[in-house]
Amino acid sequence: MSKKGESDYLGLGSRLRETAAPELVESAYRFELKDAPILYRGLSLADIAHLLMLLEVGVVPREAGGPLLAALLELHDTPLDEIPLDVALGDVYNSRERLLKQRVPDVAGWLHAGRPRREASTIAYLIALRNRLLDLVAALAAYSRALTGRAGEHVDTIMPDYTYLQHAHPTTLAHYLLAFAYPVLRDFDRLLGLFRRVNTGPGGAGSINGSRLPLNRRRLAELLGFDGVTVNTRDAMWQADGPIEVSGTVVAALINVDRLAEDLQIWTTREFNLIELADRHTRTSVIMPQKKNPYSLAYVRGVTANLIGKTASMAAYGQTPSGQVDNRIFAYGELPLAVERATQAVRLMAGVLQGLSVNTELMARRAAEGYAQSTDLADVIMQETGLDFRTAHEIVGLVVRNALDRSVPATAITPAMVDEAARAMVGHALGLSAGVVAGALDPHALVNARVGLGGAAPGPVREMIRECRRRTDEAVRWQEGMTMKLQQVEEELVTRARTLAYAERG
């Protein structure tokens, strides 16, 4: 049983006769309290803004608001590691309530007017989340710049592209890297839209159906830097789609990064040997001294796999009766931390890209191997002879089979070999000149022929680099502007609270 008066600190009121069971404290209460480092500052801002709004609309008398604001500001200025958080009280909100009751016992209760505990926690969670989403945008911008920077160095670096890890077509390293830069531009679009939905204030919703108090919800959102208000008061408290969208959007960004990490991990093997990671992004085997393990890439892949699982968890947390928010405690800390971990992984990949070295000579040699020019030879046959592509495809397939049987490399295929296959397939020779056949089989000429929009020729590649850089700069300007705005809003909120608190003190 609790001591007299202690029940108020625990939020029990007069309804319950017992304090929380030890097994409840050591499980659910301790789990909630571990999120204090993530949520505490947001809770503090939510409390200050809520009280300011209550004072502005006349719900809280000035003589009570001044001392309560001063106490809130004192807590706000105190480092978290100096705040006594008691696991027996449950979440951070209850510990703050007890501290306020100890410091200003006569006025602490005014803070609860028109607001359930979960509203403050939800606001704190959104504040933690929006800041981390802005960090993720910045990290993706650094990753995009690393991609376009390396692409700019390798516009003329010929290499084989792969499908199913088989030689597909000759391309350039620049064109390959830009295939990972464009998804980042889509990530920017997704994150900006997501941020607008995250940065919407649920405050002032009352219990479920609003409040009879004259709460100014738009003013509360403004004080906290939210761009708008979640209008329906029940929706404001019971949203399930938000965490799912956040996790899914972050996973989409990480999958794009992971796919590059997986390719690079294959390319670092001695069997491929196309790139080498900087030593600072690897580590050695404890038992095998010859090893240089691509640990950075393995870590990025692991983070991605972990967040895929988190996305399923976020969906499961929301799969409850509509009027239940307690499952959100599993998202309050996990999701901001997941975004933080994703941000670190993206920054790591940017560093990996900047540090790796490229085996350009081997790439060029490999581009001439594997008969990756076969599609172009079929195209040339179609253009020069009027045969349809499927027939040309079958002729070239036989050319390749014969070349393999005779150990003839792709660049040594002759018009005579093409005629031999053509006679077998269509009954007559094609009569292509040596220059036409050689031009179709030259990897450099093949790449330089890709002059269409988005192609691998130098002109389209340089245009894509410019576009990616421009749109990345736009995302950075938005991120920096929004970060500055939120910092300014927080400073103005605290300054206004100090002014009012000291004015009421006289």
Q: Encode pLDDT of 164-207 as tens digits.
A: 999 999 999 999 999 999 999 999 999 999 999 999 999 999 98
What sign has the CA pseudo-torsion 34, 36, 38, 43?
Answer: positive
Q: How far apart are the C-alpha atoms of 431 and 415, rounded to whole Å?
A: 7
Average pLDDT of span 308-321: 90
- Residue 76 predicted with pLDDT over 60: yes
- Per-residue confidence band for 506, with pLDDT thresholds at 50, 70 and 90: low
Q: Which pLDDT belongs to residue 10? A: 47
Q: Which pLDDT belongs to residue 182? A: 98
| Residue-wise pLDDT tens digits, 141-168 | 999 999 999 999 999 999 999 999 999 9
What rounded mean pLDDT belongs to the chain? 93
- Per-residue confidence band for 505, with pLDDT thresholds at 50, 70 and 90: low
- Per-residue confidence band for 17, with pLDDT thresholds at 50, 70 and 90: confident
- Residue 11 predicted with pLDDT over 50: no
Q: What topology is assigned to 6-116+491-505 in CATH?
A: Fumarase C; Chain B, domain 1 (1.10.275)
- Per-residue confidence band for 489, with pLDDT thresholds at 50, 70 and 90: very high
List Cα–Cα distances, 168 to 371, 375, 388, 447, 450, in angstroms: 8, 9, 21, 13, 15
Q: Number of C-alpha atoms within 13 angstroms, CB side, residue 274?
A: 19
Q: Which pLDDT belongs to residue 4? A: 41
List Cα–Cα distances, 496 to 9, 53, 60, 100, 503, in angstroms: 28, 11, 16, 20, 11
Lowest model confidence (mean pLDDT) among 176-185, 321-330, 480-489:
321-330
Give, as one character, the DSSP assignment of residue 212: S
Q: Show the CA angle centred on residue 76, arms to residues 70 and 81, nearest 5°.
A: 135
* Other C-beta atoms lying within 10 Å of the C-beta of residue 189: 11
| Residue-wise pLDDT tens digits, 454-465 | 999 999 999 999
Of the candidates 352, 243, 245, 356, which has an alpha carbon nearest to the alpha carbon of residue 300?
352
Q: Which pLDDT belongs to residue 313? A: 93
Average pLDDT of span 399-412: 94
**Is the distance from CB of 293 to CB of 285 less than 8 angstroms?**
yes
Q: How far apart are the C-alpha atoms of 154 and 172, rounded to whole Å?
A: 7
Give, as one character, the DSSP assignment of residue 206: B
Q: Which pLDDT belongs to residue 14? A: 65
Average pLDDT of span 480-491: 98
- Residue 8 predicted with pLDDT over 80: no
- Residue 330 predicted with pLDDT over 90: no
> Which of the four CATH numbers 1.20.200.10, 3.30.450.260, 2.70.98.10, 3.40.50.720 does domain 119-194+230-366+461-489 have?
1.20.200.10
Of the candidates 12, 211, 17, which has an alpha carbon nearest to the alpha carbon of residue 94?
12
Of the candidates 260, 324, 317, 321, which has an alpha carbon nearest to the alpha carbon of residue 294?
260
Answering whether pTM is above 0.85, one says yes
